[in-house]
Amino acid sequence: MILRALTLAGGLAAGAATSQFPEFSQQYAQRLGGAVDALSQVVADFDASAAQEGLTRSAALDQMNGTAFVERRRQDMERTFERHAKLSADLDALQGQGPFTRAYHAARMTDGDVAGAAWDNFQPALPLNFAGAVFSGVGFLAGMIGLGAVLAVLRWPLRFMGRTHA
């Protein structure tokens, strides 16, 4: 009886947690858009400066050498360009999508800075819509099955102990 109650509690906890995904993923996508906009401005400024000197981006980066500071700045800009490209691709996959498609593309929601900013302002709420119900139901079932499997594995040695003493 206790194991069934624990399994039910696990299902309820997982259902409550997964029901928050639609709103969190929407806030993540909004923050991602802001991050891409900010990085786009930095990239555009660099590219404009390079163009004013008659240089491509890569040629301008190649010229950034000589002192430790300038080389460090070149490395910073290379990381900025890489992050901008990655976040832009993530935004293209997530922007305008519903919660189910965002769940399909959840692997694109891995930027720590964006996730941290979204989490800092995230307010859990009871989702009273279809997507929230589906995510809650899937989480409930996954939680029940997952915790039930863990409890079954933990009980497994006890079954043999009871048989050897009989």
Q: What is the pLDDT of residues 37-82, one digit of tens each?
A: 999 999 999 999 999 999 999 999 999 998 999 999 999 999 999 9
pLDDT grade for 166, boundaries at 50, 70 and 90: low
Residue 140 structural domain: 129-165
pLDDT grade for 4, boundaries at 50, 70 and 90: confident
Helix, strand, coil percent content, the chain, rounded in steps of 5: 85, 0, 15
Determine the average pLDDT of the residues in 80-87: 97
On whether the CB atoms of residues 158 and 165 are closer than 8 A, the answer is no
Q: Are 71 and 15 members of one domain?
A: yes
Q: Are 35 and 17 members of one domain?
A: yes
Q: Is the entire prediction scored with pTM above 0.85?
A: no
Q: Are 58 and 76 members of one domain?
A: yes
* pLDDT for 162: 61
Q: Are 94 and 156 members of one domain?
A: no
Report the SS3 class of residue 1: coil
Q: Are 4 and 85 members of one domain?
A: yes
Q: Are 27 and 91 members of one domain?
A: yes
